[in-house]
Amino acid sequence: NAGVMQNPRHLVRRRGQEARLRCSPMKGHSHVYWYRQLPEEGLKFMVYLQKENIIDESGMPKERFSAEFPKEGPSILRIQQVVRGDSAAYFCASSPKGQARAEQYFGPGTRLTVT
């Protein structure tokens, strides 16, 4: 059973460009969480999605960031008009259940660098 896949692993964007980060959950998992790890900081929750639904986006910046998890295909985290402060590692995690007691399985992350 393949683990959580994220691509690309490394992404370089110039200021003002768009970044698209993809996350393929583990087989059978329909719950996806996105977290951001800024330099010298721990991970911060961004958004929680189920198939075709955003359940909680309380950690998402109000502007430029969006996320989706379509019925078919990977979950996408989209950052429009990137700025240097968006440089970070972005991790997604998947879970078979959207429950606090259920284990979340993390992907290897996408490291975004904005130049």
Partner 1 sequence: AQSVTQLDSQVPVFEEAPVELRCNYSSSVSVYLFWYVQYPNQGLQLLLKYLSGSTLVKGINGFEAEFNKSQTSFHLRKPSVHISDTAEYFCAVSTTDSWGKLQFGAGTQVVVTP
CA distance 10 to 4: 16
Of the candidate residues 14, 62, 71, 101, the single one contacting partner 1 (CB under 8 A)? 101
Of the candidate residues 24, 25, 48, 114, the single one contacting partner 1 (CB under 8 A)? 48
Q: Examine residue 113 and tell whether it contacts partner 1 (CB under 8 A).
A: no
Is the dihedral angle over the CA atoms 90, 29, 59, 45 positive or is it negative? negative
One symbol per residue from 2 to 31: x for binding partner 1 (CB under 8 A), - otherwise; what is it? --x-x------------------------x
What is the contact surface with partner 1 in residues (CB under 8 A)? 4, 6, 31, 33, 35, 41-45, 48, 55-56, 91, 93, 95, 97-109
